[in-house]
Structure 1
Amino acid sequence: MKSFKHANTTVKTKQKELSLAIKRILLGTMLTTTAFSALAVEDESSKKDIEVIEVSGSYVKSLEKAVDMKRSSTGFSDSVVASDIADFPEQNLAEALQRMPGVTIERNKGLGTKVNVRSLPNEFTHVSINGVATASGSGGRDVEFDIFASEIIQSVTVSKSPTAADEEGGIAGSVLISTARPFDYKGRKLIVSAEGAHNSISEEIDPKFAFLASDTFGDWGALVSYSNSKRTNRTDSNSGINFRPLSRWLEKSGSDSKQLQSDQAAEVLERDTGLTISDRFDSDENSRVVFIDKIGNRAYLNEQEKWGATASIQYKPSDSLSLTFDGMLGGYDSTEDEYDAAAYSASSSSTLEEIHDYDDTTLAEHDIMVLTDVSYTNTQHEFLSKEVVNQTDYSQYSLTLDWDVMGWDVNGLIGYSGAEKLSDSTNLKHTSYAPTRSRYTEEGGEVLLSENANSIDMYNSPESYLFDFYDVDLEEITDDKYAAQLDFKKSMELMHFEALSSIQFGVRYTDKSKERNLGNNQVKGPSADDDSWKGVRTLQDSELTPVTDLVPGGAYLPDLAYSPQWSQISNAYARETFRYDGFSVEFEDDQYYRVDEEALSFYFMADFLFDIGSLPTTLNAGVRSVDTSVLSFGYHQVQNADGSTGYTDAPVSKEGNYSDVLPSVNMTVELTDDLLLRAAASKTLMRPALGDIAYKRTVSLNEYKYRDGNPDLQPTYSDQFEIGLEWYMDEGGILAASYFEKEIEGVVRETLTGMVDDVTKYNDNGSLDGVYDFEIYQKVNAEGSYKVTGIELIAQLPLSLLSDSLEDFGINSNYTMLDNSLTGDSDLGIPTAPVGLAENTFNMTFYYEKDAFDARISYNYKDEYVESIERDMYPVYRDAYGQTDLSIGYKITDDIKVNLKGINITNEETTGYTMDPAFPTMYELSGRRISLGVRANF
């Protein structure tokens, strides 16, 4: 058990010890010749990147380099190199990748956070750095790209058709990231850059600094790079608006007061809409009348400090032997303040008072009536001051070998990737119960005084808000991944089988572990054993600050017709006031879980060179055998003999395992010198999220549900096929089109697996809400399969190919369109696309480059997609989003360049809705970002 005041020190100590241990192991291995037998293959895609890629090169040259890498690849892939990453406006690695064909990103409060390949959900993408699967601080397998500084990255390849040699193909694709190495450059290299960025809402200026130094000394080379940046971003949001089924009150019974709530809800519904409920306990009927559960107004301030460093030592005595040590360290610290004023219409003591307006036409095909403007008898109003402090430490080390010996190309890799994340989340809550009126607006919703004499102005009645609690969660996630791979390749010249060009086989072992600790302490008074503040202390008893002074910048959402102003308690004041002397947070045994996963795989593949008629053809065919074992353990919830619920006294463990054989074929036919026909087919998998495998149970009181982990989860599989044409032109031009199909089975879905009877539930004010039967939900592999088909178009053209008058102008664009047969997991049978899947994405960049001057304007578009399914019934959509970015550069000298960059220069907002745009869920504005920087290259 650890307290909050000691937890951070413990994490840092463990990180240092682990880093030192890995360094000793890897450096010791470099000094022993016997270690060669433990080495493994470096990914073929990253090997192609081991050549001179000048960071300071022009955008045109970086495009040409990326086209060369695409043409020489075994299958379908696209790449971006360092000069492209450096010159485009971005805030992290995710945003640096968004202009690649088929790549889009998920945004959170104006920041790109996760990567989607071909619009499929981010958990379908496999990510590795220098051949090692990347750890992250999340609870799943998805990678938090916002922790990585893009300046320390040398190249990125997105592989969309796997080979047998790949660690995992990824159903969407694999993102293969490479950091810089000394022999990537010709001799000595020093690159230094600095910039300042201004956010239009926070009005803060954020600094960023990076450098890279590299040199070679005969057979040896050494490289170091470092990047440090700070970001202050304010986001205003009218959000959190969601549907709630009228079953909230219609199903109430068991006491006179509860029956009265139910009767009044039914009577008001019939009186004001004419709709009569025939069976109040029929969920299919009462869930088709919905009202606004919550209307929230939020102001966020997000402050980040991010640093990353790489080191590479390379020994290369000849072209036939290379031994490289790569190290990567990073830290990502963020503090997010959220100030939230919210009205919960569905409080346990409330019901309908008057329905002013309703909509029974927009969602009529689903028999859903939306109560769009309602007065409620006792709305729960909340002022929430929230603070989330995250500290993520990242490290990765690898040792790679490339050795040509006795006609064999021996390649090896041993590596480690680790992340530790410590999260301190607080919530200071004050509550007021009173009649008010809630209704939809064009951008979201608003809360008004009702005609009830007891109604209050929720934003300006601090004396009416009573202290509920100051809640602190402390979470620690440790993610460790080890890998070892050994690979052999030999060129073949067989007299009786001339088509066989080479054979390749190898073995890979990975060991992954994810561990979570969680603790909570809820303050209700001035000491640990004192709850005298609860229900007595008012909001007015604390120091209040206008929300526009709590976050820097101007007025809150000034362009909206409904833009309330309010005051509340700062998080700094809350920490000082409510964390009494001796306050600590201890990790709780029953919240602990750990998942260990080991995978062993063998593969064999062969390359063939032959002619189909007169057309030169290359063929890569192979098969990978994968065997995986899982051990998951934690404290599991049980029902006691007296009907209460508790947890097991000791950790409970459960094993799971699966194995499969994964074939792959990639073929290229040269129709002409410049026109290629490419085709690929494979079976690939994505393993279930480690958090879903974890043997644990969590509770959602508002949904009356328990959620269990499932160690028996199997991977999601995909049988996929792709065919395309690629026309390579002069000056790095390319036109490409491809068609792909993915037959996906074993999709992980949440389903009802049991019940827990007679669970006692309490309201936030401590009163008894009732005794209910709680449903148990668990992630399972859904039966059957569904098909995703799509097309991908790429046009990268120097416009001089069209007209000499357009010399120095060019366009780089791509478009991806998907179609799928899957319907989302709605308990009401409402058809919807899979969560996270967008049907259309589009990227386009116009550029001009002449001598010392260059300019680029880029537009990125992502179609609407399902963000979640509210209460497993109502799909919630993130609206289509398009963003325009700008970059202008001027070389003062051959070695020094000044850049002006703009992110979201048209100040686009992020919006969403439930089922139809008539019912918005959020209106979020994060502003535009303008930066001025300089980069020197010596």
Structure 2
Amino acid sequence: MTSFQTPFKRNIMSASVIAAVSMGAQAQTTQPNEIILEDVIVTGIRASLTGAMDIKRNATGVVDAISAEDIGKFPDTNLAESLQRITGVAIDRSNNEGNQVTVRGFGPSFNLVMLNGRQMPNSSALSSTAVSRSFNFREIAAESVSRVEVYKTGKAHVPSGGLGATINLQTAKPFDFDGFTLLGSTKGIIESNASGGNNVTPEVSGMVSQIFGDDSFGILASFSHAQRDFHVDRIGTANGWSQSYPAQSNPDTSAINTNLNPSLTTWRVATVDLDNADYERTRQNGQIVLQYFPDDDFSASVDYTMSRFEENGQMNRMSFWFDDVETGKADANGTIINPARSNDELNFWAWEYGFTTENDSFGLNIDWAATETIKLVLDAHSSKSHSNPGAQPAERIANLKNPFGDAAPVHISADFSGKLPTVAYDDSALVGGAYSRENIEADLYQERGNEVENTVDQIQFSGEWVNPNESVLRQINFGFASITNSVDTLSIHSSNFSLGNGAVDISDLDLTFSPGDIGYEFVPNYSANQFLNLVEEQGLKNPATLDENGIEESISALYLSLDLETDIRDMLLRTNIGVRYETTTVNTYSKGKPVIGFNWVSPLELAKIVADEAVTRTADADYNHVLPNLDISLDIVEDVIARLSYSTTIARSNIDAMYPNVTYYSHQPNGPFTASQGNAALLPFDSANLDFSLEWYYADGSYISGGYFSKNVDNFLAAGQELQTIIGPEGPLTNPSANPRPGCPAGSVSEPVEACTSQPSDPEIIWGIATPKNTDESLVDGWELNVQHMFGQSGFGAILNYTTVDSNDRYDVYAIENGLALQGLSDTANLVAFYEKNGLQLRVAYNWRDKFLLASGPEPTFTAAYSQVDFNASYDINENLTVFIEGLNLTDEATHRYGRWENQLKDYEQYGQRYALGIRAKL
């Protein structure tokens, strides 16, 4: 719940010094004899780290925090990059910046991120990440946040959803400052390889706060604008590695180590791709807060927070497709390392990305000291995340190719014996070569995207009763919460895979080739937008299909907790014991035109035939949980604290896993035929958590801590696949390619040939339908070690932390079939060194994350171990002006993802270094 804090006016401390230990109704009341400092402002690295240390020290559970070093100055340019400095927190990177966090081995969907104690909605226009419960940190500027708190243990007053951790982002209010405050910063972002845009782009931010009306009313407004142009070089595969696709007859398995692979299983790759991409991104954040503070017993505030995020990109891809492998030899593990195929083609792809996300939040907060001992808080907000307004395609995809077969005898091969593959081709039998315009034709197009509206309406009422008498019971905390999370998704898709053999005239297409990299000779350059315009002008663009999916989750919660305090042989013992009860109701729907058959339009495509009218499916469920917690903190001796915590926490299943619709994944003429269906009755992941830690605060701003944690998690998901037919409105779906009729395949998606469409007499298709189910249980445990040391008054300091995470349920790369395999488990480490004195700040940070399982499924995806070095430096020209420089990824590290073994490459991405130069001013 949103915390009640005893108000005081005209008294100011840095947020890093007076930070409340709990974000719920746990804030401490000002004691009668407490001395409140007047007009003391403490800033800088040392103050920030000391404030974060105090939050950790004064908590009863396991809490870590990062505070702004000064108004509008966070340790890193990105919040996720800052969070990774916390012990046990790792990040996932996208386009050379942190975007989501993993805590103690639990990925983004297992962590609840809140803004000022409120659960915030999230959405995305991309088809692969339409709805997620995980907040994307790249959508909010670090300058907008004054403090981030990471709660690693469950609390009765904390909303459910954080299995790994609950992360609370806090922003400022007018009465956090003493009267008029004005600040602003501007900087230039320097991308080392932004070849398609501007190498230097601006970031500006500002905040103004003023108190009026005889110190009873305040207003704060903040705004930030950031642009970024960046380039990505990628080598990878489109469809990953498989045991069955592409096909290969009689592979050479003589080199396989039968002790590791006794079944002589082989793995093959369908494509080798080189991507050359340029992106433009714009982010805007703003907030207005009105705060009424008539006396020390009452305060009220209303606030509006917004963000606008827009990203556009153009990508071209050179691709080698091994639809089947004629020759290829396996290495010792079974990976086909030298696939080859004759009489094939080269593929030249183009992508256009374009999407926006609009986030808006309106909030109300009332704090009232009803009596000397009773404090009450009411907090309400309505927030919406809206991506891709207007339901325009977020991705437009085009492909060109050489004419297939004997007309274009291009022989292709690849070599996967090293870390990165190389490719080769022989087009000597093709007059003019594979890159000549006369030997290039159209192939296909696709358009896809989502319009998503995610709305969260939340009311939280909390209270605390403070015992006026000296006794073991110090405080009773209680509260009620109601939250409704509504998601509505409109998916758009249009495609035509039959544009070859001269169906489209591309003579007006602006197509060139430029030198490639990483084993390629050339990379294509053309616009997917121009290609689709030509398709549309020539009447070959198919009507778009629209599918609607939605969910409404209604959660009601009650909680009660007790704060106890006593001395045991001169050792201070603090205890918090609580329980939270939640009920959840789930209503889901899917609306779309159902599939009634298939149209065999080409040797590689069975196009779906849909009904004329849309049909709506619904599914409902409900469940409840009792979530207890016990936190014990014991001051063994002065400055040495031992903690023991037990709690039960939950994290709800992925939203798109609960839609009742059927999604068709693969339906090629020769199979496989695969589909999936959601399950509204999925239960949340349920974790019983145990934490023990020992902390020694041996000097000002310095401490050593070590802790053990374990999480026994139930209800992990498994995709239970069943083989069955699918009954459409006109009967079972049948395969028109199983017993070919004369002249088939033929026609097009828009103009089908009846003989080539599904008939009741055709064989029924047996589908492998995957449905998520709650099945598995797993234990995750690990250790967290942290050292923070200030070298006296020298100005030097250092942080070193290390986290280990382990589980028996790890992916066995030598097992043909795996059961539960936990994603995101990896050890992490941080080393930060800094200097701060006489207005000069220097910081160098090294972050390392060991390899981890990114995704499982039929075949795994691992992310290789990654390390990064960042730095920042600043100098205070005077008390109002500061100049600074920042650098990210100084050693130009690349992101490497692979299958079972490192030579089973999936992605290898390079971004280059990123720098920033700027100036910050404040009054």
TM-score interval, normalised by the smaller of the two chains: 0.7 to 0.9
Counterpart residue identity of residue 778, structure 1:
T
> Matched residues in 2 for 1:468 and 1:300: separation?
21
Q: Secondary structure at the match of 1:135?
A: coil
Map of 1:781 onto structure 2: 774
Counterpart residue identity of residue 169, structure 2:
I
**Equivalent residues in 2 for 1:748-897, closer than 5 Å:** 748-756=717-725, 759-760=734-735, 772-783=765-776, 785-800=777-792, 807-824=794-811, 829-830=816-817, 834=821, 836-869=823-856, 872-897=857-882
User: 2:505 matched to 1:513?
Assistant: no
Q: Secondary structure at the match of 1:289?
A: coil
Per-residue deviation, residues 134-188 of structure 1 (Å, max 9, x unmatched): 1111412111221111111111101111210111261100010111111111221
Counterpart residue identity of residue 229, structure 2:
T
**Equivalent residues in 2 for 1:420-435, closer than 5 Å:** 420-422=386-388, 424-432=394-402, 433=404, 434-435=410-411
Among residues 211, 234, 251, which one is paired with 1:269 in the alignment? 251
> Matched residues in 2 for 1:108 and 1:141: separation?
17
Among residues 686, 691, 694, which one is paired with 2:651 in the alignment? 686
**Equivalent residues in 2 for 1:157-168, closer than 5 Å:** 157-168=149-160
Map of 1:603 onto structure 2: 559
> Matched residues in 1 for 2:904 and 2:421: separation?
9
> Matched residues in 1 for 2:527 and 2:852: separation?
35
**Equivalent residues in 2 for 1:309-324, closer than 5 Å:** 309-324=286-301
Q: Secondary structure at the match of 2:893?
A: coil
Map of 1:564 onto structure 2: 521
- Deviation, 1:438, is 2.2
State the Cα RMSD in Å: 3.4
Map of 2:740 onto structure 1: none
Map of 1:149 onto structure 2: 141
> Matched residues in 1 for 2:239 and 2:578: separation?
49
Matched-pair contact (CA < 8 Å) for 2:494–2:544: no
> Matched residues in 2 for 1:595 and 1:450: separation?
53
Matched-pair contact (CA < 8 Å) for 1:603–1:625: yes
> Matched residues in 1 for 2:827 and 2:819: separation?
15
Map of 1:551 onto structure 2: none
Counterpart residue identity of residue 321, structure 2:
Y
Matched-pair contact (CA < 8 Å) for 1:198–1:930: yes
- Deviation, 1:828, is 5.5
Note the residue ranges of structure 2 that are not aligned, 5 or more in a row.
Answer: 1-21, 31-35, 125-130, 405-409, 600-607, 727-732, 738-744, 750-755
Provide closer, same or farther for how the CA distance between residues 893 and 73 of structure 1 changes in structure 2, counting only shifts above 3 A.
Answer: same
Among residues 201, 210, 217, which one is paired with 1:206 in the alignment? 201
- Deviation, 1:608, is 0.6
Map of 2:422 onto structure 1: 446
> Normalized against structure 1, the TM-score is what?
0.83
Q: Secondary structure at the match of 2:522?
A: coil
> Matched residues in 2 for 1:54 and 1:307: separation?
32
> Matched residues in 2 for 1:690 and 1:418: separation?
16
Counterpart residue identity of residue 453, structure 2:
T
Counterpart residue identity of residue 549, structure 2:
Y
Provide closer, same or farther for how the CA distance between residues 583 and 104 of structure 1 changes in structure 2, counting only shifts above 3 A.
Answer: farther
**Equivalent residues in 2 for 1:579-594, closer than 5 Å:** 580=537, 588-589=545-546, 591-594=547-550
Which structure features the higher share of helix residues? 1
Among residues 676, 697, 700, which one is paired with 2:665 in the alignment? 700
Matched-pair contact (CA < 8 Å) for 1:735–1:794: yes
- Deviation, 1:435, is 3.3
* Structure with the larger RCO, 1 or 2 (CA within 8 Å, 6+ apart): 1
**Equivalent residues in 2 for 1:605-624, closer than 5 Å:** 605-624=561-580
- Deviation, 1:124, is 0.8
Among residues 287, 294, 303, which one is paired with 2:271 in the alignment? 294
> Matched residues in 2 for 1:241 and 1:841: separation?
29
Matched-pair contact (CA < 8 Å) for 1:328–1:397: yes
Among residues 411, 414, 429, which one is paired with 2:380 in the alignment? 414
User: 2:16 matched to 1:44?
Assistant: no
- Deviation, 1:469, is 3.0
Counterpart residue identity of residue 219, structure 1:
S
Counterpart residue identity of residue 774, structure 2:
N
> Matched residues in 2 for 1:639 and 1:545: separation?
40
Map of 1:280 onto structure 2: none
Matched-pair contact (CA < 8 Å) for 1:430–1:538: no
Among residues 327, 330, 349, which one is paired with 1:358 in the alignment? 330
**Equivalent residues in 2 for 1:241-252, closer than 5 Å:** 244-245=241-242, 247-248=244-245
> Matched residues in 2 for 1:740 and 1:513: separation?
34
Matched-pair contact (CA < 8 Å) for 1:243–1:290: no
Map of 2:314 onto structure 1: 337
Counterpart residue identity of residue 776, structure 1:
I
Alignment coverage as a number of residue pairs: 834
> Matched residues in 2 for 1:97 and 1:455: separation?
57
Matched-pair contact (CA < 8 Å) for 1:126–1:175: yes
- Deviation, 1:492, is 2.3
User: 2:692 matched to 1:723?
Assistant: yes
> Matched residues in 2 for 1:919 and 1:401: separation?
57
Map of 2:54 onto structure 1: 68
Map of 2:581 onto structure 1: 625
Counterpart residue identity of residue 330, structure 2:
Y
Q: Secondary structure at the match of 1:402?
A: strand
Per-residue deviation, residues 226-254 of structure 1 (Å, max 9, x unmatched): 0000001101011126654463466xxxx
> Matched residues in 2 for 1:716 and 1:920: separation?
32
Provide closer, same or farther for how the CA distance between residues 48 and 489 of structure 1 changes in structure 2, counting only shifts above 3 A.
Answer: closer
**Equivalent residues in 2 for 1:436-585, closer than 5 Å:** 436-440=412-416, 442-450=418-426, 453=429, 460-493=435-468, 498-522=471-495, 535-537=502-504, 542-547=509-514, 557=517, 560=518, 562-571=519-528, 573-574=530-531, 577-578=534-535, 580=537
Counterpart residue identity of residue 877, structure 2:
I
Stretch moving more, 655-664 or 535-544: 535-544
Among residues 864, 884, 898, which one is paired with 1:899 in the alignment? 884
- Deviation, 1:461, is 4.4
User: 2:221 matched to 1:224?
Assistant: yes
Matched-pair contact (CA < 8 Å) for 1:247–1:287: no
- Deviation, 1:522, is 3.5
Map of 2:210 onto structure 1: 215
Q: Secondary structure at the match of 2:452?
A: strand
Counterpart residue identity of residue 551, structure 2:
V
Matched-pair contact (CA < 8 Å) for 1:610–1:616: yes
> Matched residues in 1 for 2:496 and 2:40: separation?
56
Per-residue deviation, residues 412-461 of structure 1 (Å, max 9, x unmatched): 11112210001521001123334322222534323312599569965x34
Indicate the percent of aligned positions where both proteins have the same amino acid. Answer: 22
- Deviation, 1:604, is 0.9
- Deviation, 1:667, is 1.2
> Matched residues in 1 for 2:419 and 2:341: separation?
22
Provide closer, same or farther for how the CA distance between residues 120 and 631 of structure 1 changes in structure 2, counting only shifts above 3 A.
Answer: same
Provide closer, same or farther for how the CA distance between residues 313 and 825 of structure 1 changes in structure 2, counting only shifts above 3 A.
Answer: farther
- Deviation, 1:690, is 1.4
Provide closer, same or farther for how the CA distance between residues 244 and 888 of structure 1 changes in structure 2, counting only shifts above 3 A.
Answer: closer
Matched-pair contact (CA < 8 Å) for 1:89–1:902: no
Map of 2:901 onto structure 1: 916
Matched-pair contact (CA < 8 Å) for 1:430–1:539: no
Provide closer, same or farther for how the CA distance between residues 669 and 249 of structure 1 changes in structure 2, counting only shifts above 3 A.
Answer: closer
> Matched residues in 1 for 2:233 and 2:153: separation?
41
Stretch moving more, 760-769 or 828-837: 760-769
Stretch moving more, 227-236 or 467-476: 467-476
Among residues 652, 669, 681, which one is paired with 1:712 in the alignment? 681
Q: Secondary structure at the match of 1:573?
A: helix
Among residues 372, 375, 395, which one is paired with 2:337 in the alignment? 372
